[in-house]
Structures are given as C-alpha cells and as structure tokens.
Amino acid sequence: MLRFFMIITVAALLSACATGRELSKSCSALTSKAAVKTLSSTVTVSLRTADRHISGRGVMLYRRPDHLRLIILSPFGTTVMDTLVAGENITIVYPATGVAYQGRIKDLPAKAGQRGFAMLRWVLDSEPQSGSPADGVIGRTSVNGSLERITLRDGLVVEKSLKSGELVSYRKYENLSNICLPMELQMETADGDRVKLNLEDPEANTELELTAFTIRLQGLRLFPLSELKAQ
C-alpha cells in the first residue's frame, strides 16, 4: 500500500508559490481557463488508514484523457514501483523483485490495499463542464460511467463524490498560465482510506509523447491482478 500511494500523488497539483511562478490573477478572477492536457511533476503523499499513517515521494506523468504513469522512488532515487494506466488497463511493476501485475483497473483486489488507484481517472477529471453554475451543486455522469455529485465555488470544482463512497476535495487552487490547478487533493476511498496529495514543481501542457507511457516487461515475471497483495 505504501508503494502505491507514494506515486498516486499524481493527482495533487501545483506549488506555484514555492517555485516562484507569477500568479498575477487568482483563479476565481479568470474569465477563461485553459484545460489541462498534460501534466508532469514530482509529488508527495500522506496516507492514513485504520492501522497506519505513512508518507512518500514520487514522479507523475499524465496525458489526457486516460494515460497516467506513476513512479515511486526510494530515498536513494531508485525505482520502487512503476505503474501505468492506459484506458481501463493497469500495469504495476516492482523492479527490485522482478515482478509485474497486469489487468483491468476494476479487477484490483481489495485486500491489495490499492483500490484507491481506481479513483485516479475520476479524480483527475476535475474541470466543470460548459454551462455549469459558478456556485452550487450539480450532478453529471463521471468518466467511470456512474453519477457524480460536484460542488462548485467561484467556477471551480471543490469537491466530488460518488454514491459508492468515494470522495475527493480540491484545495489551494493556483493560476499557472491561465490553468487553474489545486495544490492539494484530499481523497477518501469507499474503504475509508484517506490520502492527502501535493504537487511539486509541475509542468502543464508541455509535450508528452506516448512513448513516455511505455513500461518494458522483458525479463519480468508477469502475473494477473488477482495475485497482487499489499506491498
């Protein structure tokens, strides 16, 4: 579980104050906001479950609409875990043990401690649709096909939830070249795990080729997701 959530920090976005980026206008003052097409960043995460509290660091690459790569790094800079999402499929690699797991996101076993990963595409789809009110609560069909409840404030999504129990809060929005990104995400899975995500030194809408979302499996032992256990 630790290894997974060290990189899921993907979603948490932008520490513009720390990087000295110009923030000439607040997000709420923008009349036209650019959409996030690609995102890359180092990330930090704090995970709290019923029996543990852990934190870590990693690297994230995201290409809209459905390509995501998350890399967990050890304190020495070596790769602990490399995870790739492409559409509805997921590949998880543990280089140190030479094993990889592959399958559909919906088949992630609950006891593996990584069910939160299935939330990622939903969490990253945080832009209000055209015609949405600046403030209030709306419902729409999510990228996962289920009905989601969205809370808007000043034209920004501040919270989303699903009937199945998943919840995400978007906090500390900053303006990066007319792209509004939340510095902090707080997620809660249906199982009650809580994840706090933060982004460091992000780059938005730069070119990311599909080759960046390729994991080499040669020489690895490949298993189905059903055999994945908590790490």
Chain segment 208-222, per-residue pLDDT in tens? 998 999 999 999 999
This prediction has a pTM of: 0.78
Residue 198 lies in a domain: yes
pLDDT of residue 231: 63
| Number of separate domains in the chain | 1
What is the block-wise mean pLDDT of the chain (231 residues), using blocks of 10 residues? 40 34 52 79 80 79 88 86 88 94 85 64 78 89 86 91 92 84 86 84 88 93 88 63
Residue 117 lies in a domain: yes
- Which residues, in sequence order, are CB contacts of 102 under 8 Å at separation 6+? 89, 90, 91, 92, 222, 223, 224, 225
Q: Residue 34's domain spans which residues?
A: 2-127+176-226
Residue 149 lies in a domain: no
Residue 170 lies in a domain: no
Chain segment 18-69, per-residue pLDDT in tens? 333 333 356 766 656 778 889 888 898 777 777 767 677 998 898 988 888 8
CB 222 within 8 A of CB 196: no
CB 138 within 8 A of CB 152: yes
Residue 69 lies in a domain: yes
Residue 81 lies in a domain: yes
CATH code: domain of residue 186: 2.50.20.10
Residue 168 lies in a domain: no
